[in-house]
């Protein structure tokens, strides 16, 4: 008798989708057409997810990598909001934070800019999820590729990433 393939483990799934499936997390995957040459990945995801899932802009979360006292950290916050670097440093017990160089973020995560997911990263990093995530039943984050989002309960996102929940975003 053959083994049943768990949802999300199908051929071609991204590491993010495979990580959610391996953790037993209920999730949905939403694909949309990424505009080649476009660089406002968050705004593109917000527009697409409004149509695909009826999602509100603050329900779509971006994944940013920042250097806190020499160590990379992941920050997950609503697309329309800005990362408060001082709040991120404080949330992880650090003193100083700065955005990570794009090439370093890609190397560490294993994903390209605009497709960096907090799930299934090549190198597991300390993660902070903005507290507003807990206001939603479902949040959407990159599924590891431009034009691909994964929806899941914020509590599952926190659990799977081992995240700290803190106020790190400014509207």
For the chain, what are the domain ranges?
15-170
**Given a cut of 50, is residue 6 above it in pLDDT?**
no
Whether residue 155 contacts residue 134, with contact meaning beta carbons closer than 8 Å, is answered with yes
Across the range 70-84, mean pLDDT stands at 98
The band of 3, judged by pLDDT with boundaries at 50, 70 and 90, is very low
The band of 12, judged by pLDDT with boundaries at 50, 70 and 90, is low
Dihedral sign, CA of 120, 124, 130, 131?
A: positive
Closest to 108 (Cα-Cα) out of 122, 92, 118: 122
**Given a cut of 50, is residue 1 above it in pLDDT?**
no
Would you call 33 exposed, middle or buried from its count of C-beta atoms within 10 A (0-12, 13-18, 19+)? exposed
Write down the pLDDT at residue 8.
Answer: 45
- Three-state DSSP class for residue 135: helix
**Given a cut of 80, is residue 57 above it in pLDDT?**
yes
Q: Give the model confidence (pLDDT) of 116-152 as tens digits.
A: 999 999 999 999 999 999 999 999 999 999 999 999 9
Secondary structure string (H, E, C) spanning 21-69? HHCCCCEEEEECCCCCCCCCHHHHHHHHHHHHHCCCHHHEEEEEEEEEC
Question: What fold characterizes domain 15-170?
Answer: YbaK protein (3.90.960)
């Amino acid at each position: 008798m053959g083994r049943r393939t768990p949802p999300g483990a199908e051929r071609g799934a991204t590491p993010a989708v495979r990580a959610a499936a391996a953790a037993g997390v209920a999730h949905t995957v939403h694909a949309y057409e990424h505009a080649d040459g476009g660089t406002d990945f968050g705004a593109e995801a917000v527009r697409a997810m409004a149509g695909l899932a009826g999602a509100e802009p603050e329900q779509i979360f971006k994944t940013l990598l920042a250097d806190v006292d020499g160590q990379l950290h992941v920050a997950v916050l609503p697309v329309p909001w800005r990362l408060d670097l001082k709040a991120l440093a404080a949330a992880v017990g650090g003193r100083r934070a700065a955005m990570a160089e794009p090439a370093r973020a890609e190397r560490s995560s294993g994903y390209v800019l605009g497709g960096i997911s907090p799930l299934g990263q090549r190198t597991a990093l300390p993660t902070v999820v903005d507290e507003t995530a807990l206001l939603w039943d479902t949040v959407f984050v990159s599924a590891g590729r431009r034009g691909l989002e994964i929806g899941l309960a914020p509590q599952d996102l926190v659990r799977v990433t081992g995240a700290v929940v803190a106020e790190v975003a400014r509207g």
